[in-house]
Every structure is written in structure tokens, then in C-alpha cells.
């Protein structure tokens, strides 16, 4: 399964036409302790670069942008009860949503891990 990254600090792993999306470890480190996550409704259409979710920490509230276009087919309900899961497993169990992608080419336009790490180092 390949994982790609956006310049907005989201990660995407693709299995068939289902993209699992979350925020990167770098993003959760910048946010600090996550205290609330607002997830999109299942069935919501999200557009690449558009607002998809909100994550709030003790420091700030941040938008989570959709790195790909599609329809939300599942959300991580565990985050509602345990938002700190984002801090403990940002690039794993702390995923936000699963999206049925409508344009697979968008996935290939995202950065691989090496390119993302280089991007983060340049910030």
C-alpha cells in the first residue's frame, strides 16, 4: 500500500479506490495536544484542497484539507471519544476519514515520503 503526502500536512494511503486520510506526524507535533476533532459526515463530497475536517489542540484549531476529491465513506469514530489518538498515532490509528476517490490522478500528484520529509525540512 503506498502512502503519499500533501503540502497541507495530510497523508493518504490508497487501497483500490479508497483513500484513508489523516494528518502527518509533523502536523500533530506542531499542533500539540489534540483535544477535539470534527469529522465530516459520511456521504459528504470533498474536493482536493477543500475543507474536510477540523482538528483542535490546546494551541489552535486547524482545518484538515482533502488531499483528493471524492466522497466520504467512513470516518474514524474513535477520534470523537479519544481525540488524543491523533497525537499517539497520527499516521496510523489516528486517521480521520476514508474517501472513495473520483480522480485517481490526484493521488499520483502527491509527494512520496522522501519528498515530504525534504519539504518539511525546508520549512
Q: What pLDDT was estimated at residue 2?
A: 87
pLDDT value at position 42? Answer: 98
- Decide if pLDDT at 16 tops 70: yes
91 vs 25: CA distance, rounded Å: 6
- Cβ atoms of 7 and 122 within 8 Å: the answer is no
21 has a pLDDT exceeding 90: yes
Domain ranges of the chain: 2-102
The answer to whether residue 34 scores a pLDDT higher than 70 is yes
> How much is the pLDDT for 51?
96
Indicate whether 12 pLDDT > 90. Answer: yes
Is the domain defined by 2-102 classed in CATH 1.10.340.30?
A: no
Amino acid at each position: 500500500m503506498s502512502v503519499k503526502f500533501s503540502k497541507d500536512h495530510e497523508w493518504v494511503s490508497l487501497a483500490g479506490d479508497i483513500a484513508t486520510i489523516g494528518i502527518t506526524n509533523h502536523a500533530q507535533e506542531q499542533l500539540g495536544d489534540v483535544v477535539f476533532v470534527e469529522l465530516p459526515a459520511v456521504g459528504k463530497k470533498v474536493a482536493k484542497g477543500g475543507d474536510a475536517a477540523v482538528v483542535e489542540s490546546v494551541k489552535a484549531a486547524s482545518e484538515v484539507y482533502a488531499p483528493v476529491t471524492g466522497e466520504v465513506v467512513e470516518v474514524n469514530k474513535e477520534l470523537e471519544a479519544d481525540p488524543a489518538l491523533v497525537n499517539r498515532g497520527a499516521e496510523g490509528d489516528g486517521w480521520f476519514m476514508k474517501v472513495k476517490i473520483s480522480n485517481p490522478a490526484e493521488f499520483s500528484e502527491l509527494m512520496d515520503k522522501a519528498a515530504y520529509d525534504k519539504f518539511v525540512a525546508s520549512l
